Structure 1
Amino acid sequence: MGMPPVPDPALPEPLGGPVASSRRDAPALRGAGRKGPKRLPRRAAAGRRSFTATLRALDELASSGAQVSVRIDDLDGGSQVLAGDDFLTLPVGGLGVVPLLVEVAAAFEAGRIDPLEIVDRSAVQGAAHGGVWQHLKAPALPLIDVAMLAASSGDALAVNALLHRVGLQAARSRIEELGLRRTALLDRFRDDRGPDDAPHLALSTAREMAHLFAGLVNSTVVSPGVSAQVAEWLSLNHDLSLAASATGLDPFAHENDQHGLLFVNKTGRAAGVRAEAGVLGGPRAGVAFALIVNFDDLTIAHRLRAHDAFRVLGVELMEYVY
């Protein structure tokens, strides 16, 4: 599915698949705390965490024919915690909307677009893929609210409205400026994709999505203001059903968690596609992560197997940070 992978010359070749390359990295997980300056005691335990259950779940997915790409980075120093075929370019569904949100926030900050500019949904190419705006009585909304809908509920009509306003080419130029060499926003949301349409909404890699989210929380994406705005929108995301299900957070109110968890994420869904990227921070550590799974969506069992792998990852991410 998606574009054929073209390994970066600077990267080592995988040893036979996503799980093989992950196992290669597994010993480094157990010894992650041995390199560099000594960590504070409250962080030390995080270096001893492993992701053996995640590797096992991803191994089972790969054995069933799924394509799997995973990346986890520790936010303390940017060190790699886990990587498995993280350079593979795969369809990511609505996860690919994040660079569009960056372009919208940058246009707001630069004054090129008024955040309160009104968008009439009747002028936007529709899509019943998902979201709430199509069900609201209000026929028009300000752009800043449209962006919030796109980030918080994956609203297909809102995403199409943002693309209609800023232009697909502007979003693609932003992707290039961000240095995302293997990420592409190909099209708007459509109910049906014909032979003349792009085969997918967006493509990306686990590595680039994890790095993008790390940049957002570290205020290095375009500017501190743009990073903060996009992170704020994404902190309202309601979809906590994949890796995020292990956090126990309230899907509708998790920006100020009483247990000290910081969580920002975005998911992507399409036929045979599940993807999630985000940042999870706790008392012991903080991580940026991304997992992309492309699978044959033949039955509910196939779909639930993919979902289970995300949830296993979520449990081990929580063990790492908390």
Structure 2
Amino acid sequence: MLVAFVGGWFGDILGELALWSGVLLVFASVLALYSAWKRREIATLVDETPRVDIGDIESPGLVRVRGTVAPSAEGTFISPIAGDRECVLSAWEIEEQYDTPKTNSWESAAWGVRSERFHIEDATGTLSVAINDRTVGNETGDVFTPEKLLVSDGVAVDGLQCAFGTFETEVETDYEESPPKRIRDFLAATPGVSVDPMATDLVVDASKRRYSEATLQPGDSVSLLGHVSRQDDSVAPQGESERFVITPSEESTLYLSTEPFDDVPDGSGAVLFGVLVGAVGIGLLIVAFLM
């Protein structure tokens, strides 16, 4: 009887383990397949949208260009996280590490983009870029969005993906330590960002918060893939009312990258990973329900 009891108890544990492992693997498979689908979508857009000179843009529509960043009449601002550079765009992220009895891992608390209107130029012309400030944070209720899976070195929000060569941690603080004043001021002025911790468990002293940032500065090279439209006469400089502007729109996501779009991965590796992981996960679920 004891052997039967132990065997049944052990079988129940294995069943629970198979069930939850299967659920996690199926979830990971869905995320991998979503990432692969979106990467394939971007690769297809790049293939179907040849790079053009800015001066050759003649009508609204989807374009792919590369040029040099130049400030507009709105000027530049000091990077809010690093605090040591003049920029026209800042992509930023705040992560928290929860050192609790249950976990010790970094989780994204908030991320977003701050930008002034700027231009990119090549030898043939100038294109205006208009990106509104965007925030995803623990006060917006969106501390995870699918778009975040698509950019490893940068920031992605709905309708906008910003990828950089590096996306570095500029400041790291202990859990109850205040960040520098420039960051406190930035957080206070940014709607949707709470400075309160996300953790609900008892947090110990080893928990931390880190602030990462990448910027576009005047003189940087940048690639853009997105929808252009004509500027309003009230916005365009006098005598240049035919200038175009590129901006996130309902028609298409705006893709911004400091690297050329020449070698965009097509997501085939993620497809294979997603299928294999999904197959294992489904197998474990079948085992769990048969036990």
Which TM-score band applies after superposition, normalised by the shorter structure?
A: under 0.3
**Over alpha carbons, which structure has the higher Rg?**
2
TM-score, reference length from structure 1:
0.20
Q: Which has the higher helix share?
A: 1
TM-score, reference length from structure 2:
0.22
**Greater RCO, 1 or 2 (C-alpha within 8 Å, sep 6+):** 2
Q: Which has the higher strand share?
A: 2
